[in-house]
A and B are shown apart, each in its own frame.
Chain A
Amino acid sequence: MNARYAGDRTTGFASPASDSVEGPIDLSQTLDLANPSRYPVRVRGATFAARGILDGDILIADTAGSPQAGQLVIAWASGRVLLAELQKRGNAWWLVSGDNTHPPLEVDPARDVEIWANVASVVREKA
Chain B
Amino acid sequence: MLYGLIDCNSFYCSCQRAFDPDLKHRPVVVLSNNDGCAIARTAEAKQLGIKMGEAWHLVRNERKLSDVRWFSSNYPLYADMSRRVYQVLLDYSPRVEPYSIDEMFLDLSGFSDSLHAHCGAMRQAVQQITKVPTCVGWGPTKTIAKLANGLAKDRPELEGLCDLTDPQMRQRFYRNVSVGEVWGVGRRLLPKLHDAGIRTIEQFVEAKPAQIRKIMAITGLRLQAELQGESCLQIAEMAEARKGMACTRSFGRPITTYDEMHEAITGFATRAAEKLRAEDLDAAHIAVFIQTNRHKRDDGWYANQFSISCEPTNDTFTICRHASRLLKQIWLKGYRYAKAGVMLNDLAPHGQQSTLFSMASTKPAHENLLAAMDGINQKFGSGTLFPLSAGIKRDWKPRQAMLSARYTTRLKEIMEVNCY
Interface residue ranges of B110-140 to A (CB < 8 Å) = 125, 128-131
Taken together as a complex, chains A and B put the C-alpha atoms of A16 and B342 apart, in Å, by 50
Given A64-B128, A79-B21, A80-B21, also A45-B419 (CB < 8 A): yes
Interface residue ranges of B390-416 to A (CB < 8 Å) = 407-408, 411, 414-416
Q: How far is the CB of A123 from chain B (nearest CB, A)?
A: 10
Number of A-B residue pairs with CB-CB distance less than 8 Å in the complex they form: 84
Decide: A98 and B419 in contact? CB cutoff 8 A: yes
Choose one: B22, B84, B125, B415; the contact of A79 (CB below 8 Å). Answer: B22
Given A76-B21, A79-B21, A80-B21, also A40-B414 (CB < 8 A): yes
Decide: A82 and B418 in contact? CB cutoff 8 A: yes
Choose one: A78, A81, A116; the contact of B418 (CB below 8 Å). Answer: A81
Choose one: B22, B84, B419; the contact of A36 (CB below 8 Å). Answer: B84
Decide: B88 and A95 in contact? CB cutoff 8 A: no
Contacts of A112 in B (CB 8 A): 24
Contacts of A77 in B (CB 8 A): 21
Taken together as a complex, chains A and B put the C-alpha atoms of A47 and B24 apart, in Å, by 27
Check: B389 CB closer than 8 A to any chain A CB.
Answer: no
Decide: B418 and A44 in contact? CB cutoff 8 A: yes
Indicate the member of B84, B128, B407, B417 with the most A CB atoms within 10 Å.
Answer: B417
Q: How far is the CB of B282 from chain A (nearest CB, A)?
A: 24
Count residues of B near A (Cβ-Cβ below 8 Å): 23
Decide: A82 and B88 in contact? CB cutoff 8 A: no
Which secondary structure characterizes the binding site on chain A? strand
Check: B420 CB closer than 8 A to any chain A CB.
Answer: yes
Q: Mark A77-93, 1 if CB is under 8 A from B, else 0.
A: 11111111000000000
Check: B199 CB closer than 8 A to any chain A CB.
Answer: no
Decide: A81 and B416 in contact? CB cutoff 8 A: yes
Contacts of A79 in B (CB 8 A): 21-22, 24
Choose one: B83, B408, B419; the contact of A39 (CB below 8 Å). Answer: B408
Decide: A43 and B420 in contact? CB cutoff 8 A: no
Decide: A44 and B411 in contact? CB cutoff 8 A: no
Given A36-B83, A36-B84, A36-B87, also A43-B417 (CB < 8 A): yes
Decide: B417 and A83 in contact? CB cutoff 8 A: yes
Decide: A44 and B83 in contact? CB cutoff 8 A: no
Check: A111 CB closer than 8 A to any chain B CB.
Answer: no
Check: A107 CB closer than 8 A to any chain B CB.
Answer: no
Given A79-B21, A79-B22, A81-B21, also A36-B418 (CB < 8 A): no
Q: How far is the CB of A14 from chain B (nearest CB, A)?
A: 24
Taken together as a complex, chains A and B put the C-alpha atoms of A28 and B87 apart, in Å, by 17
Contacts of B128 in A (CB 8 A): 63-64
Decide: B21 and A83 in contact? CB cutoff 8 A: no
Q: How far is the CB of A5 from chain B (nearest CB, A)?
A: 15
Q: List 11 A-B contacts (CB under 8 A).
A: A37-B84, A39-B407, A42-B414, A45-B419, A47-B420, A53-B419, A58-B411, A79-B21, A79-B22, A83-B418, A102-B420
Known interface pairs A36-B87, A37-B88, A76-B21; 20 further A-B residue pairs with C-beta atoms within 8 A, sorted by A's residue number: A36-B85, A36-B130, A37-B129, A39-B414, A39-B415, A40-B411, A40-B414, A41-B415, A53-B419, A58-B414, A63-B129, A74-B417, A81-B418, A82-B417, A82-B420, A83-B418, A83-B420, A95-B420, A98-B419, A112-B24
Lowest 5 CB-CB distances: which A-B pairs, in order? A45-B419, A36-B84, A84-B420, A47-B419, A36-B87
